[in-house]
Structure 1
Amino acid sequence: MLAPALDARLEAVLALVEAEAHADIGSDHAHLPIRLIREGRAGRCVVVELNPGPLALARRNVARARLHDHIEVREGDGFAPLLPGEVDSASVSGMGAGTITGILRRAGERLPPALVLQPNDSARTLRLWARENGHHLKAERLIPGHWPYPVLRLERRDGPDPAYADLPEQAALRYGPHLLREGSEVLLKLVRADIARLTPLAAPGRTAGVELDAALSALAVLGGQ
């Protein structure tokens, strides 16, 4: 059977996973875990899906791929179906950053030391969560699509996250410290669009003004191009 195709954002998630045991939370079709096993990026996967339709689809796809010895599909919400320490890595993709943050907060002792997260909106909430909960930002990607999709790899570490050193804090939280240093065209286009959108809305003390300051700081880091 051919390996299932993934869209660009899930290909980016795939590239940031390297684990002995990995959980894909809200997996939908289980294509990501199938690829992880097929490409040797994980030795074992647990698929977690809450909704009946995607749950059945995931089970069918795992059966068709003949990977039931390597991939287990479980029904449940977030990390609840997992045992503490059962996996060393997990991915959560295709949801809003607020929803993903809620899943992480409810995980408790089930939360593994490595996470790959792909929100469908700004990743600022996830970067804040990571800094407040002992996780360092080890890698980031920004994938073009209907809008730019951020993909983050977090790892549990002690002390301040060195990724943020020597960068304007609000710009780094909004746009990503690794992304700012890499300075891709995708990020530059996003920052310019934010500046154009926020400039007529900004006023002292208003949220738009704070966001505009972050965007202008990001543009300065990117060389003011």
Structure 2
Amino acid sequence: MTMPTLDARLEAVLGLICTDVHADIGSDHARLPVRLVREGRVRRCIAVELNPGPLEQARRSVARSRLEAQIEVREGDGFGPILPGEVGSASLCGMGAHTIRRILERAGERLPSVLIVQPNDSALLLRLWAWAAGYHVCAEHLIVGYWPYPVLRLDRASGPDPAYEGLSLDAALKYGPLLLRAGGEALVQQIRDDIVRLQKVAAPGRESWQELETAKTALAATSSGIK
């Protein structure tokens, strides 16, 4: 049976998941759950979808794959259909960071210990949420597509997040502590693009001035080879 095709950002998400039971929040077509089960990365998956069209799409995808015994499609908003302690990890992909953060904030005791998030914009809000909520940044990718897509794995842990040690906090929250340490081409290009854009509007006393300084600090960190 043919494996569902995933784009590069969801392939990156796929590679960060390995658990017994996983929840894909806002699953849309449910291709990610199908791949997770087919590849043996999870034993069971719960695909959650709120909107009627994508919900039906997910159900059809699971039926075509003949995986109804291992993938359950549930209708609902965010973690609402998930019981506390029911899943070991959850993914939230293809939404804005504001939307993802609101879902996480409402989840309460339903939140699992591992989260994989892929916002369609800056991950700053999600790193700030993780910092305050007791999750550490354990993996980060920046996937080039229509724009750079950040992909993060967040694991619940105690104490300060060691990923940020020795880095400018503002730069690391904005661009990603592990991404800064890796200094990949996609991140360096993103930072340079930000500097060019901000130099046109930045002036002392404006928020854009601080953003420019943060971008310059981030670029210096990638150039210094911090590990």
Normalising to structure 2: TM-score of the pair?
0.98
Partner of 1:144: 144
Residues 184-205 of structure 1: CA distance to partner in whole angstroms, max 9, x if unpaired? 1000100000000001211223
- Asked if residue 41 in structure 1 is aligned to residue 28 in structure 2, the reply is no
Q: In 2, Cα distance between the equivalents of 1:21 and 1:93?
A: 17
Partner of 1:55: 55
Partner of 2:115: 115
Question: Residue 101 of structure 1: SS of its match in structure 2?
Answer: helix
1:174 Cα shift? Answer: 0.4
Report matched runs for 1:51-200 at 5 Å. 51-200=51-200
Question: Residue 194 of structure 2: SS of its match in structure 1?
Answer: helix
Q: In 2, Cα distance between the equivalents of 1:83 and 1:165?
A: 35
Partner of 2:205: 205
Q: In 2, Cα distance between the equivalents of 1:197 and 1:86?
A: 45
Q: In 2, Cα distance between the equivalents of 1:107 and 1:151?
A: 20
1:207 Cα shift? Answer: 1.5
Between the two proteins, the alignment pairs up a number of residues equal to: 225
Distance 1:138 1:204, change over 3 A: same
Residues 144-184 of structure 1: CA distance to partner in whole angstroms, max 9, x if unpaired? 01110000000000000000000011110000000001011
Q: In 1, Cα distance between the equivalents of 2:19 and 2:2?
A: 22
Percent sequence identity over matched residues? Answer: 64
Root mean square deviation of aligned Cα: 1.0
Question: Residue 222 of structure 1: SS of its match in structure 2?
Answer: helix
- Asked if residue 3 in structure 1 is aligned to residue 3 in structure 2, the reply is yes
Q: In 2, Cα distance between the equivalents of 1:161 and 1:40?
A: 30
1:86 Cα shift? Answer: 0.3
Q: In 1, Cα distance between the equivalents of 2:36 and 2:28?
A: 15
Structure 1, unpaired ranges of 5+: none
Distance 1:212 1:165, change over 3 A: same
1:224 Cα shift? Answer: 7.1
Partner of 1:21: 21
Question: Residue 20 of structure 2: SS of its match in structure 1?
Answer: strand
1:223 Cα shift? Answer: 1.2
**Which stretches of structure 1, 4 residues or more, deviate above 4 A after TM superposition?**
none
Question: What amino acid maps onto 1:222 in structure 2?
Answer: T
Q: In 1, Cα distance between the equivalents of 2:2 and 2:195?
A: 44
Question: Residue 136 of structure 1: SS of its match in structure 2?
Answer: strand
Question: What amino acid maps onto 1:51 in structure 2?
Answer: N
Q: In 1, Cα distance between the equivalents of 2:77 and 2:207?
A: 33
1:213 Cα shift? Answer: 1.0
Normalising to structure 1: TM-score of the pair?
0.98
Structure 2, unpaired ranges of 5+: none
